[in-house]
Amino acid sequence: MFTTHPFQAGSDPDKFHEECGVFGVFGTEDAAAFTALGLHALQHRGQEAAGIVSYDGKRFHPHRAMGLVGDIFGDRDVIDRLPGDSAIGHNRYSTTGETVLRNVQPLYAGYGFGGLALAHNGNLTNARQLRRELVQAGSLFQSTMDTEVIQHLIATSREARLLDRVIEALRAVDGAYSLVALSRRKLIGARDPLGVRPLVLGQIGDAWVLASESCALDIIGADFVRDIEPGEIIVIDDEGVHSHKPALPTRKRFCIFEYIYFARPDSNVDGRNVYEARKAIGAEMAREAPVDADLVIPVPDSGVPAAIGYAAEAGIPFELGLIRNHYVGRTFIEPTDEIRHLGVRLKHNANRGQLDGKRVILVDDSIVRGTTSKKIVEMVRNAGATEVHVRISSPPTKSPCFYGIDTPEASELLAANHDVDGIRRLIGADSLAYVSMDGLYRAMGETAGRNNDAPQYCDACFSGEYPIALTDMNDTDNTSQMSLLAELA
C-alpha cells in the first residue's frame, strides 16, 4: 500500500512484519460471524485495524474500526448489524503514518453496475503511476491505499461484465497481492501471477471460504480444499466455484519468509505445514552448525519450532529458558528512559533457575536490526549462562521487501552492513550461525537446494533478486496531495 512506507519499522523493530490478512465467505447465514472468526485466526497478519463488509441481498453492510478483531467484532450486536449470506474481511497491520479509519479495508464503491467491496493483502508496485494517470483523467481518490487504484480501474473500464473489468484492472497492476472482493452476486478471489502472497480455498457445508491461511478455515471448522493458484481468479456464485486464468502461466515464486516467520505454525500455506517446515529448518541447522551445549532454548514464541527441531536432531534438552510476558498489549508506547533502558525485559525474562552455569544454544528466526538479539544474549548471560550460541533459522536478511512486507531499509538491516562474524560480535554471542540458503531450500523439500537459474521461491530479502518490477521505486513525484487523511489520525 502507499500508506506503508516499505522501510518503516513496526511494533517489534527487530522483526519483519506481515501486512494484512484477508477472508471471504459465500453462502451461509453465519457469514459475518465466520468472517470475524477467520480474521481472529489471522490476527497475527495485522493488529491495527479490521473490517468486514457483508451483503444481505439488498445492501452492503460495513463495520470497520481500529483495534483487535475480538474487540471490534466480539460483541453480538456488531455481528447482528452485518446481515447476509456473504461477507469479506480484512486485518490491517499497524504501521506508522496515515493510520486512519478511511484507510481501513474492505474498501467499497458504488458503480454503475452496483456496489463492490474489495480487500487485499500485498503491495502494488506501480500504483503511484497508475493513480497519477487516473487523476489526470478525472478520478478523485479518497484514500492513500493502493487498493483504491484497483477500484478506479474497475470503474473506468469500458468492459460490461464485472469479471472482465476485474481482469482488465489486474492486467494493469504490477505487484504481489491476494485479494477478495464481494459484489451483489459474487465472491471473487485473486492471486498475483507469481503467487507471492498466500490464499486458500475452503468449504463448510454448502458455503465457500477464501482465506490467507488454513488456520482461518480450522477455526470455523471448514475443510481445506486447495490453494488458489498464481494468477488465478476465482469467482464464487450460487452455481459454485469458477476458475479463470487470464494471464499466461509463469513459474510460481511464493514468499519463503511466510514459512520462516509470518504464517502461523498450525497453518498449511502453498502446500506445506508451517510448523513442520520450521522444525526441518532447525534440524538442518543442527546439521550445518552443531555445537556442544547443555540446553537449546528458543526465543519465544517464533523460535520454538526450530528450537524443537534443533534439539531433537542434536540430542540436547529443549527448555523454556526465556519466559514471555503476554500482556504487553499496545503498551509502553512512550516509555520513560528507565523503561527504554530495560527494554526487552518488558517482553521477556530469563529464568536463572534454568540457565545458571549452563552452555546455551539460543534459537531465533531472524535478526533484523540486532538490537533485541543483543539484549537477549546479554540477559541470558546475566542469568548465569557460561556460553551463548545463537542459531538463526533464516539466511541473513539483506534487502528490503516491496511485496507487502514491512521491512527496514537496507541501511538499517544489520546483515546488509556486516558479515556474520561482525554480527556475532555486535550481539555478543560466543558463536553465530544462520541456516544456509541451500539448507533453507532443502528444509522446504528441495533436495537439490536453491535453483539459482529459476528460484523456486521469492527470497528477495535474502538474495536481492526481485521477481516483480519496482516501478514506483523510481517515481519521485510526491507533490500531489490526494486526500486529507491526516486529520483523522
Nearer to a second copy, 310 or 403 (CB): 310
The active-site residue, picked from 20, 401, 458, 461, is 20
Comparing CA positions, the residue from 291, 289, 283, 288 lying closest to residue 386 is 291
Do 235 and 58 touch, CB atoms closer than 8 A?
Answer: no
Angle between helices 420-427 and 371-382 (to 10 degrees): 50
Closer residue to a second copy, CB minimum distance, 66 or 416: 66
Please list every residue from 157 through 176 that binds a second copy, using CB under 8 A. Answer: 157
Report CA-CA distances (Å) from 85 to 90, 213, 421: 17, 22, 57
> Rule CB under 8 A: which of 12-31 touch a second copy?
30
**Nearest to a second copy of 42, 414 (CB atom):** 42
Write each residue from 33 to 52 as x if it is in contact with a second copy (CB under 8 A), else as -, in one continuous string.
Answer: xx-xx--xx-xx--x-----
Residue with smaller CB distance to a second copy, 37 or 285: 37
Residue 443: CA count within 13 A, CB half-sphere: 32
Closest approach of a second copy to the CB of residue 220, in Å: 7
The residue within the footprint of a second copy, chosen from 66, 172, 219, 247 (CB under 8 A), is 219
- Residue among 139, 96, 125, 123 nearest 20 (CA): 123
At 34, which amino acid appears?
F
Amino acid letter for position 259: Y
Radius of gyration of the chain (CA): 23
**Residues in 253-282 at the binding interface with a second copy, rule: CB under 8 A:** 264-266, 268, 273, 275-276
Within 313-332, which residues bind a second copy (CB under 8 A)? 317-320, 323, 325-332
Catalytic residue list contains 20: yes
List 13, 57, 110, 445, residue binding a second copy (CB under 8 A): 110
The alpha carbon dihedral of 418, 422, 428, 433 has a sign of positive
CB atoms within 10 A of CB 275: 19
Of the candidates 185, 244, 345, 398, which one interacts with a second copy according to CB under 8 A?
Answer: 345
**What is the CA angle 151-185-146, rounded to 5?**
15
Quick one: cell of 129?
503511476
One character per residue 436-475, x = contact with a second copy (rule: CB under 8 A): ----------------------------------------
Among the listed ranges 103-111, 189-197, 255-263, 357-365, the one in contact with a second copy (CB under 8 A) is 103-111
Cα distance between the two ends of the chain: 17
The distance of closest approach from Cβ of residue 259 to a second copy in the complex, given in angstroms and rounded to an integer, is 12
Q: Work out the widest C-alpha separation in the chain, in whole angstroms.
A: 73
| Total residues at interface with a second copy (CB under 8 A) | 102
Contact stretch for a second copy (CB under 8 A) within 255-263, 348-356, 362-370, 461-469: 348-356
Which residues are within 8 A (CB) of 285 and not within 5 positions of it... i.e. 6 or more apart? 306, 309, 310, 363, 391, 393, 433, 435, 439
Q: Does 480 bind a second copy (CB under 8 A)?
A: yes
Residue 287: Cβ within 10 Å count: 12
Residue 69 Cβ vs a second copy, minimum distance, rounded to whole Å: 7
| Shortest distance, position 483 Cβ to a second copy, whole Å | 7
Q: How far is the CB of 361 from a second copy (least distance, A)?
A: 16
CB of 485 to a second copy, least distance (A): 9
Task: Decide: is 336 part of the binding site for a second copy (CB under 8 A).
Answer: yes
- Which residue(s) pair with 226 in the sheet? 201
Length of the chain: 489
Q: Cβ 465 to a second copy, closest distance in Å?
A: 30
Cα(276)–Cα(274) distance, integer angstroms: 5
Region 127-146 residues binding a second copy, contact defined as CB under 8 A? 135-136, 138-142
Report 57-96 residues binding a second copy (CB under 8 A): 59-64, 68-71, 73-77, 79-80
Residues labelled catalytic? 20
